[in-house]
Amino acid sequence: MPKMDRSVLIGLLKRLEGPDEKDVFEAAREVARRMKESGVSWDELLAPPAPVAAEAIEPAIQEGGADKLLSAAETAEARSEIEALLATSGISDATRGEIVDLRGDLGAGRFGRGDLRYVRALRARLS
């Protein structure tokens, strides 16, 4: 299977922003042609978001932040952040499962400030 040239592909994708509709259409057709020739699907072409590094959440756990209870305002913020994350398209099934687990922890009273910091960092990363 031939490999797609990344720089050529980026150039074609940039043409999609152009004012000339004919050029935009031709660029889109060229992207589709190159993908077909290379045997590359959209799922393969578009990389999923990178997971949040464990180092980003480890300090909060070490500080005991995960054990500290949330205020009512923090609980509302956590609920809002989690729902926004779950509404995000393009996140992996593993990440989505982790977010669902966090929502369960929140509902069960096992969600602390360290968890809130993690959810904030994850949302910032995926936004």
Q: 82 with 34, same domain?
A: no
Three-state secondary structure readout of 46-102 = CCCCCCCCHHHHHHHHHCCHHHCCCCHHHHHHHHHHHHHHHCCCCCCHHHHHHHHHH
Note down the domain range covering 34.
6-45
Q: 79 with 111, same domain?
A: yes
Q: Could you tell me if residue 35 is inside a domain?
A: yes
Q: 20 with 64, same domain?
A: no
Q: 36 with 19, same domain?
A: yes
pLDDT tens digits, 12-55: 989 998 899 999 999 999 999 988 888 888 877 776 666 655 55
pTM summary value: 0.48
Residue 87: its pLDDT value, please? 93
Q: 85 with 118, same domain?
A: yes
Cα 95 from Cα 46, distance rounded (Å): 17
Confidence band (pLDDT; 50, 70, 90) for 56? low
Tally of domains in the chain: 2
Q: 15 with 76, same domain?
A: no
pLDDT tens digits, 58-69: 454 444 444 567
